[in-house]
Amino acid sequence: MSEASEGKTLFQKIIDRDIPGTIVYEDDHCAAFRDINPGAPTHILVVPRKPIPRLVDASDDDQALLGHLMRTAAKVAQDEGVGDAFRLVINNGADVGQTVFHLHLHVLAGREFQWPPG
């Protein structure tokens, strides 16, 4: 691994292919790849290329990017064959389970979910 990749988040390293990951979608703004520790039969992470640590760290300038992530999550769900039966989750901070501090959306599907989550 190059020295330039040392300051990258885990997700940046996957997007840049510095480390392996199963990428299922990518464009100029984001990438989507399979979670290595899935919480459902379908568990895809949608990650912006821009390294925003948490949702609360996004700026007003990121509004279009945030919308793009949501639309991409819906597209990925359709591409994965789950149609409109999926859940999106964004963890914001360690206290609620965020372990990689690079904003990401979890696309979860393929099993029954309970409400409230947690």
Residues with catalytic annotation?
Answer: 104
> Which has the closest alpha carbon to 32: 95, 85, 91, 78?
78
Q: Are 72 and 52 in contact (CB under 8 A)?
A: no
Structure tokens given for 22:
């199963």
Contact 6, 22 (CB under 8 A): no
